[in-house]
Amino acid sequence: MCGNNMSAPLPAIVPAARKATAAVILLVCGLKFDRHGWAEAFAGIRIPHVKYICPHAPTMPVSLNMRMSMPSWFDIYGLSPDADEDEAGIKRASENIKALIDQEVKNGIPSHRIILGGFSQGGALSLYTALTSQQKLAGVVALSCWLPLRKSFPQPVRGMTEAMLRLTWSHIQHYDSL
């Protein structure tokens, strides 16, 4: 991984069929998942000008899972909203994802044509990274997740994420009714 100081394998990449003008960086769940299944799925449905990047979380002990080693972007201490968070690990993982974004910009893809996405822990990291990035991103897809270090964000940002969640849920309900 570009700029990676974690012990993670290189990301799986599905190259664009034509000249890449956009990129999707998909952060899979993290805990116990690997990047290859997602890369294979995207290879089958890819959009010709989009490059898909599926980074792999490093293997580390996860406190929540009895300190068993598994792919994880950062340590998770508990599931309660008031549980302590691995601030250093979250920030380190976010910086590594920002390095991937920076590399794609250097490769000629404007940041406003890059989407971050993930679910569970990967969604949480996507959301945190998008909200702390200096790059203007095309969007973020964060499914079944939370906002890490939410107390470090000003109230308007926390309110914005709640509004985004309501808007997204509203659209999902609308599309389901079509």
Where helices occur in the chain by DSSP H, the ranges are: 36-45, 87-106, 121-132, 155-176
Is the pLDDT higher at 178 or at 74?
74
What contacts 176, CB < 8 A, 6 or more positions away?
none
Structure tokens at 73: 């972007």
What contacts 136, CB < 8 A, 6 or more positions away?
111, 112
Map out the domains of the chain with their CATH numbers.
Answer: 12-149 (3.40.50.1820)
Instruction: Kindly indicate the confidence band of residue 2, based on its pLDDT and cuts at 50, 70 and 90.
Output: very low
Q: What's the mean pLDDT in 33-40?
A: 62
pLDDT tens digits along 84-128: 999 999 999 999 999 999 999 999 999 999 999 888 899 999 999
What contacts 91, CB < 8 A, 6 or more positions away?
none
For the chain, the helix, strand and coil percentages under 3-state DSSP, each to the nearest 5: 40, 20, 40
Instruction: Kindly indicate the confidence band of residue 149, based on its pLDDT and cuts at 50, 70 and 90.
Output: very high
Output the pTM of the full model.
Answer: 0.79
